[in-house]
């Protein structure tokens, strides 16, 4: 019966711990969603910036596994190169150590207090921001409560001779014990697929006195290797670069732990020298209150030292995983039309960053489409190949529009803040407007076919048409800068320019009809010229609507 009590108390504590971690993570993500998206978009080839991105994102989402799975998805999508991915993985390994410090700060004195403080904003605050902050505090309180419950479950085990004998082989006081503990930590983390959960269990076992400090640190080192299974599983079926990123994560952690194993006894002494209290000191209640801080410090310094050691060799690691993961070319990898990952395994903020990148690419395709259409109209000879290329561009934008919309609708099914939901709606609207602009550019190109040699567009009407076409495109390009550069748009100026272009379009149609009445142009050109001007006017209208959506996307809400 005692064994049954231990099991259900342990499972209950673990459930509360998991639930608290999820609450804390969801609350932090909702509060810092914009920050995460901007951090991801700031990625450069600078290795220190990449490490910083990995560190900050992992601290905010409280899961290195989620960060590395996200990185694999970005590499598979082509939004991140291998060197950037390795830098982010380095940073994620440091960022995940914050979980250890949160666990080390656990106290039964504060768990119920934090839960009590955390639920108040959820019930009484009208501010979404405060609601999510309250959710984060509630999560931290549940993490503390879960750990204390696990401590209660583990307490009887330290007095059980049978259990202590069964784990005696894993007592890390010699190298065989170190290796056995590292392997066990690795295997258990692979099964659980959560290094945070295993870290919590390990620290609870050590605090309750079931396992010694050295064994706990060795288990944590093994957990560092075991957590790489998430990225490896995520890379199955992905392209060769994604597989390389996942393997880089695994080899980095294996190399780091292997080097640490060589100096592990000295490392224990080093950590003991940094902290004033002996981890083997027992408290009045029979627990070991100082061992958690020693484990957290050992975990943090190990990951920081490993990152600093391997950072100069980041390109060498990239070359190594490239060599062991060759592109065999059995099936030629075709670049995806859209490089969006699986939203079910990604953070809403990361999914939004991917979709934002795709919107920029879509805008670039529309820009190429316009330039080709202008060339097509400007030259005297009719070139069917250019018209076919323009049509192909329009087909591509249709597909991108469809996939972005479907992708973002799936993202909206995940928990997120109201502001993130509004931003996603704005992104869907931007995709709609870009696709509409592409439609009218294609129509404009098709109108070129109506003009025969005897009915060519020339003289003042031709000059006005190209002037208006260029002005409309300057307007579109100005609006697009808000999407590409994140610039705050001058909506008053944009509205004035939009109205000016509309009046200009009406004036052009009237002037052309006047020229036809004077016999300057054949009457058959009236309808076509009117359709051409209407197409440009529609591009102007959809550009203005896109500006409104971009403004809403970049607006700040509480």
CATH number, residue 353: 1.20.58.220
| Contact status, residue 349 vs residue 33, Cβ threshold 8 Å | yes
Is 198 in the same domain as 144? yes
Task: Output 92 or 127, whichever has higher pLDDT.
Answer: 92
Contacts of 358 (CB under 8 A, 6+ apart): 338, 339, 340, 400, 404
Q: 457 lies in a domain?
A: yes
Q: 190 lies in a domain?
A: yes
The string of DSSP letters for 196-249 reads: HHHHHHHHHHHHTTSS-HHHHHHHHHHHHHHTTHHHHHHTTTS-HHHHHHHHHH
Is 8 in the same domain as 131? yes
Question: Span 6-22, mean pLDDT?
Answer: 82
Is 256 in the same domain as 183? yes
Instruction: Give me the number of domains the chain comprises.
Output: 2
Least confident of 149-153, 224-228, 236-240, 532-536: 236-240
| pTM > 0.75 | no
What integer pLDDT is reported at residue 241 of this predicted model? 79
Q: 203 lies in a domain?
A: yes
Q: 144 lies in a domain?
A: yes
| Contact status, residue 199 vs residue 103, Cβ threshold 8 Å | yes
Whole-angstrom distance, CA of residue 445 vs CA of residue 434:
17
Q: 337 lies in a domain?
A: no
| Contact status, residue 358 vs residue 340, Cβ threshold 8 Å | yes
Which of 288, 263, 230 lies closest to 104, judged by CA?
288
Q: Taken in order 454, 456, 459, 460, is the CA torsion positive or negative? A: positive
Least confident of 24-28, 249-253, 390-394: 24-28
The two tokens of residue 61 are 């989402």
- The label of the residue with tokens 């955390």 reads 118
Average pLDDT, the chain: 81
Is 244 in the same domain as 163? yes
Identify the domain boundary among 263, 294, 324.
Answer: 324
The two tokens of residue 95 are 């960022």
Is 389 in the same domain as 529? yes
Which of 247, 256, 250 lies closest to 221, judged by CA?
256
Is 189 in the same domain as 283? yes
SS3 126: coil
Is 314 in the same domain as 358? no
- Phi, psi values for residue 249, rounded to 5°: -60, -45
Is 304 in the same domain as 430? no
Identify the domain boundary among 295, 324, 353.
Answer: 324
Whole-angstrom distance, CA of residue 535 vs CA of residue 424:
28
Question: Span 497-516, mean pLDDT?
Answer: 82
Domain of residue 206 covers: 2-324
Which of 97, 94, 92 lies closest to 40, judged by CA?
92
| Contact status, residue 450 vs residue 511, Cβ threshold 8 Å | no
CB-count exposure of residue 4 (10 Å: 0-12, 13-18, 19+): exposed
Per-residue pLDDT at 329 exceeds 60: no
What integer pLDDT is reported at residue 367 of this predicted model? 93
Least confident of 352-361, 379-388, 508-517: 508-517
Is 207 in the same domain as 131? yes
What integer pLDDT is reported at residue 520 of this predicted model? 60
What integer pLDDT is reported at residue 265 of this predicted model? 87
Residue 256: band (very low, low, confident or very high) from pLDDT cuts 50, 70, 90: very high
What integer pLDDT is reported at residue 107 of this predicted model? 65
Q: 329 lies in a domain?
A: no
The two tokens of residue 258 are 């292997």
Q: 453 lies in a domain?
A: yes
Which of 344, 305, 419 lies closest to 36, judged by CA?
419
Q: 233 lies in a domain?
A: yes
Residue 487: band (very low, low, confident or very high) from pLDDT cuts 50, 70, 90: low
Is 227 in the same domain as 358? no
Task: Output 37 or 316, whichever has higher pLDDT.
Answer: 316
Per-residue pLDDT at 334 exceeds 60: no
What integer pLDDT is reported at residue 330 of this predicted model? 45
Identify the domain boundary among 324, 351, 384.
Answer: 324
Is 296 in the same domain as 348? no
Per-residue pLDDT at 349 exceeds 80: no
Whole-angstrom distance, CA of residue 135 vs CA of residue 161:
42
Per-residue pLDDT at 87 exceeds 50: yes
Which of 51, 42, 60, 43 lies closest to 86, judged by CA?
51
Per-residue pLDDT at 160 exceeds 70: no
Whole-angstrom distance, CA of residue 89 vs CA of residue 69:
10
Measured over all CA atoms, what is the biggest interatomic distance in the chain, rounded to whole angstroms?
110
Least confident of 83-87, 239-243, 357-361, 455-459: 455-459
Is 317 in the same domain as 414? no
Most confident of 103-107, 498-502, 523-527: 498-502
């Amino acid at each position: 019966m005692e064994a049954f009590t231990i099991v259900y108390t342990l499972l209950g504590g673990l459930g509360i711990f998991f639930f608290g971690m999820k609450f804390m993570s969801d609350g932090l993500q909702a509060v810092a969603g914009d920050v995460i998206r901007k951090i991801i978009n700031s990625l450069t080839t600078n290795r220190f910036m990449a490490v910083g991105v990995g560190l900050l994102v992992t601290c905010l989402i409280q899961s290195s596994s989620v960060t590395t799975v996200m990185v694999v998805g970005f590499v598979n999508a082509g939004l991140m190169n291998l060197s950037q991915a390795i830098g982010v993985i380095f940073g994620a390994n440091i960022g995940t150590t914050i979980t250890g410090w949160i666990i080390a700060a656990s106290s039964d004195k504060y768990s119920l207090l934090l839960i009590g403080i955390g639920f108040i904003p959820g019930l009484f605050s009208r501010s979404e921001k405060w609601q999510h902050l309250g959710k984060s505090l509630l999560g931290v309180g549940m993490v503390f409560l879960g750990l204390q419950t696990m401590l209660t479950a583990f307490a009887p085990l330290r007095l059980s001779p049978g259990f202590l004998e069964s784990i005696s082989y894993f007592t890390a006081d010699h190298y065989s014990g170190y290796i056995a503990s590292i392997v066990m930590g690795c295997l258990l983390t692979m099964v659980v697929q959560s290094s945070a959960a295993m870290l919590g269990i390990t620290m609870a076992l050590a605090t309750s006195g079931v396992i010694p400090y050295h064994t706990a640190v060795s288990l944590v080192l093994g957990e560092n290797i075991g957590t790489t299974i998430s990225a490896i599983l995520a890379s199955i079926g992905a392209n060769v670069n994604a597989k390389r990123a996942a393997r880089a994560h695994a080899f980095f952690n294996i190399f780091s732990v292997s080097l640490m194993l060589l100096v592990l006894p000295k490392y224990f002494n080093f950590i003991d020298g940094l902290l004033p209290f002996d981890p083997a000191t027992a408290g009045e209640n029979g627990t070991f209150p100082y061992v958690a801080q020693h484990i957290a410090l050992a975990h943090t310094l190990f990951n920081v030292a490993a990152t600093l050691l391997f950072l100069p060799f980041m390109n060498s690691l990239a070359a190594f995983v490239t060599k062991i993961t060759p592109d065999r070319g059995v099936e030629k990898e075709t670049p995806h039309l859209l490089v969006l990952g699986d939203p079910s395994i990604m953070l809403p903020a990361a999914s939004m960053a991917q979709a934002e990148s795709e919107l920029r690419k879509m805008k670039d395709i529309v820009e190429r489409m316009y330039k080709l259409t202008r060339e097509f109209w400007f030259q005297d000879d009719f070139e069917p190949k250019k018209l076919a290329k323009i049509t192909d561009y329009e087909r591509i934008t249709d597909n991108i529009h469809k996939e972005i919309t479907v992708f973002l609708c799936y993202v909206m099914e995940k928990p997120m803040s109201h502001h993130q939901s509004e931003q996603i709606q704005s992104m869907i609207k931007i995709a709609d407007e870009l696709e509409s602009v592409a439609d009218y550019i294609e129509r404009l190109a098709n109108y070129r076919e109506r003009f025969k040699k005897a009915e060519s567009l020339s003289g003042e009407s031709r000059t006005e048409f190209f002037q208006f076409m260029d002005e409309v495109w300057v307007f579109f390009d100005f609006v697009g800068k808000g999407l590409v550069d994140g610039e705050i748009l001058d909506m008053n100026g944009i509205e004035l320019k939009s109205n000016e272009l509309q009046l200009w379009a009406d004036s052009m149609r009237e002037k052309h009809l006047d020229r036809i009445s004077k016999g300057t142009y054949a009457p058959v050109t009236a309808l076509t010229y009117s359709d051409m001007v209407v197409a440009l006017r529609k591009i102007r209208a959809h550009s203005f609507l896109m500006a409104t959506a971009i403004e809403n996307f970049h607006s700040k809400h509480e």
